[in-house]
């Protein structure tokens, strides 16, 4: 339901509301396993439903947000391939579906992940859309196509805007990121899962380091810290599994 509401919000140009729907979905996804065990209601059907919900909330929703974003940027770019670029935004949705199907049948992913988890991908985009909406230099004179991002605001960006803002206004940079995420979702890379069989510091050192540094970054820089947090997740996972 949260994912479906997010898609509806994105279709109306309410990117921030859609981003918060991703965050709500991630919270529910984290606690659904606890709820199933507490209610003694776990079953193979529940596992399949969990993956189907994840496809909507963490695959289709962020892809549709990016599709809408590319259409919002379209008037400021004259590339003949622009329509193709916009539809490329759905590649991570297909990759997410493949990743979740594989996860349900991969016994090696009980305590770790193989490839980037779909919530991590979706939360990255949710954080970036919220950060962009909070950036003063993107506030234009009158809203047209989007509630959160006035249609004319892109033509009046402040020259002192941070570099990351210019990057996320570039369709070519977004296409590169989409290709990267499409690969990462099913990449043969072992990544940390936050499923604690023990809370011993030595066993979970890199997990605790990642969570601690991420918390500091969020409190310090807010949502704009998402790319750094994602990089740290990949880095600490690499170090963790190299050590073990």
Contact 102, 188 (CB under 8 A): no
Element (H, E) at 112: strand 112-114
Spatial distance between the Cα atoms of 127 and 150, rounded to a whole number of angstroms? 19
Of 57-61, 107-111, 117-121, 185-189, which gets the smallest average pLDDT?
107-111
User: Which residues have C-beta within 8 Å of that of residue 11, sequence separation ≥ 6?
Assistant: 64, 68
Q: Please tell me the predicted confidence (pLDDT) of residue 81.
A: 65
Q: Please tell me the predicted confidence (pLDDT) of residue 150.
A: 61
Mean pLDDT of the chain: 84
Highest mean pLDDT among 75-84, 167-176, 196-205: 167-176
- In the predicted structure, residue 212 carries a pLDDT above the cut 60: yes
Kindly report the pTM of this predicted structure: 0.87
Mean pLDDT to the nearest integer, 78-83: 66
Mean pLDDT to the nearest integer, 87-104: 94
Please list the residues that pair with 192 across neighbouring strands: 112
Mean pLDDT to the nearest integer, 94-118: 88
CB atoms within 10 A of CB 153: 21
Mean pLDDT to the nearest integer, 44-72: 92
Here the tokens at position 207 are 């997990």
Rounded to the nearest 5 percent, the helix, strand and coil shares of the chain are: 70, 0, 25
Of 90-99, 158-167, 176-185, which gets the smallest average pLDDT?
158-167
Please list the residues that pair with 191 across neighbouring strands: 113
Q: Please tell me the predicted confidence (pLDDT) of residue 142.
A: 45
151 or 124, greater pLDDT: 124
Highest mean pLDDT among 11-15, 87-91, 225-229: 87-91
- Confidence class for position 18, pLDDT limits 50, 70, 90: very high
- In the predicted structure, residue 165 carries a pLDDT above the cut 90: no
Contact 114, 10 (CB under 8 A): no
Highest mean pLDDT among 42-46, 70-74, 146-150, 184-188: 184-188
- Confidence class for position 138, pLDDT limits 50, 70, 90: low
Mean pLDDT to the nearest integer, 211-216: 91
Q: Please tell me the predicted confidence (pLDDT) of residue 154.
A: 55
Of 101-105, 109-113, 234-238, which gets the smallest average pLDDT?
109-113
Q: Please tell me the predicted confidence (pLDDT) of residue 173.
A: 92
């Amino acid at each position: 339901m949260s994912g479906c509401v997010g898609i509806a919000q994105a279709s109306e140009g309410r990117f921030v509301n859609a981003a918060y729907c991703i965050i709500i979905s991630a919270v529910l996804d984290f606690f659904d396993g606890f709820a199933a065990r507490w209610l003694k209601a776990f079953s193979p059907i529940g596992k399949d439903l969990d993956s189907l919900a994840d496809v909507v909330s963490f695959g289709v929703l962020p892809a549709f947000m990016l599709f809408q974003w590319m259409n919002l940027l379209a008037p400021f770019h004259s590339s003949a391939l622009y329509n193709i670029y916009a539809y490329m935004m759905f590649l991570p949705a297909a990759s997410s579906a493949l990743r979740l199907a594989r996860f349900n049948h991969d016994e090696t992913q009980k305590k770790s992940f193989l490839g980037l988890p779909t919530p991590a991908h979706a939360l990255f985009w949710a954080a970036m859309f919220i950060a962009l909406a909070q950036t003063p230099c993107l506030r234009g004179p009158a809203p047209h196509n989007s509630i959160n991002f006035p249609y004319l605001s892109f033509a009046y960006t402040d020259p002192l805007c941070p570099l990351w803002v210019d990057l996320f206004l570039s369709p070519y940079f977004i296409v590169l990121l989409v290709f990267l995420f499409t690969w990462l979702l099913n990449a043969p890379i072992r990544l940390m899962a936050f499923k604690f069989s023990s809370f011993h510091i030595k066993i979970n050192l890199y997990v605790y380091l990642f969570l601690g540094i991420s918390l500091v970054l969020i409190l310090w820089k807010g949502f704009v810290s998402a790319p750094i947090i994602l990089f740290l997740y990949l880095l600490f996972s690499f170090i963790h599994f190299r050590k073990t």
